[in-house]
Structure 1
Amino acid sequence: MPFRRPVPDLQTLSAAAMSALLLTSAAKHFREPEFFHPVVPDFLCRDDSGGQPNGPLAVLSREEWVAVSGLLEATAAVGLLVPATRRAAAGCVTALFAAFLAGHVDALRKAYGPEGSPRRRRVHTLRLPLQAPLIAWAWTLTRRNRRP
């Protein structure tokens, strides 16, 4: 009798791929945090220079927001790999990607502003539309797995 390995279903493979993407991104948060600085909106960033506060949501510095989002991505990546937590983790990833939209819109607005550069315009023009398929992909993982 030949040994037959069970074939993972499509949702498991999709969750593993999303997990790999999130782990790669989380690692980049700590290796190159400055890459993520433009997508953290100013209204979320605490002003440590003694100037005017940026608002009631400005509780962390830009660097702290990047680190926290990296930790959230790493945690969600692990959650996607565990079948018992996959649906909840996928819902959290969907919300996380949706929340990131504000940062991407803000970064795009700044890229086309007076301080923007052609490179920043190109980067942020490409990054913003990528959020839609990521949100949709994460949302598909919130569905119950249907085996034939």
Structure 2
Amino acid sequence: MSRSERSPLLLAGLLAGAGVAHFAAPRLFDAIVPKALPGSPRTWTYASGVAELVLAAGVALPPTRKPAALAAAALFVGVFPANVKMALDWRDRPTPLKAAAFGRLPLQVPLVLWARSVARGTEGRQES
């Protein structure tokens, strides 16, 4: 299997893992839901977990890969405020936790670019 064939599956795996984590440890995600969002943080935690699982399935399947990968790129942009909130909330935590929280912020850029490259990888191919 070539790198270009593995990339969508790795992205799908990342999304699936993140989606499962929202259900396995929801309190961690509840804490970073921006207060400006209406409703319960748990609702947002579960909704984003479902979105990640649906996108994982979409990215894994060639007929839905392009739109799912583009939606994943949008999701990575959309969750950035939660990552900023986490970094700000954790600025007084021990250095390794603070570094992890702030380190997540620049990681959003390669995630967005990765998802977009997976979407571009499907252009021009005939799906059967």
Query: Could you state the TM-score of these two structures normalised by the residue count of structure 1?
Result: 0.75
User: Matched residues, percent identical?
Assistant: 31
Match of 2:62 in 1: 83
Cα distance in 1 for residues equivalent to 2:35 and 2:97 = 17
- Tell whether the 8 Å contact from 2:13 to 2:56 is kept in structure 1 after alignment: yes
Cα distance in 2 for residues equivalent to 1:33 and 1:131 = 21
- Tell whether the 8 Å contact from 2:31 to 2:41 is kept in structure 1 after alignment: no
Match of 1:48 in 2: none
Q: Deviation per CA, 1:54-113, whole angstroms, max 9, x where unpaired? A: xxxx1x31111010000000000000111111000000000000011111112212223x
| 1:19-30 correspondence to structure 2 within 5 Å | 19-30=12-23
- Count how many residue pairs are aligned between Structure 1 and Structure 2: 123
Match of 1:13 in 2: 6
Larger C-alpha radius of gyration, 1 or 2?
A: 1
Match of 1:136 in 2: 113
Question: Which of 9, 25, 44 is the equivalent residue of 1:65?
Answer: 44
Match of 2:32 in 1: 39
Compute the displacement of 1:43 (Å): 0.6
Two-structure CA RMSD over aligned residues (Å): 1.9
Q: Which has the higher helix share?
A: 2
- Tell whether the 8 Å contact from 1:41 to 1:107 is kept in structure 2 after alignment: no
Cα distance in 2 for residues equivalent to 1:9 and 1:122 = 34
1:117 partnered with 2:61: no
Any gaps of 5 or more consecutive residues in structure 2?
Answer: none
1:93 partnered with 2:86: no
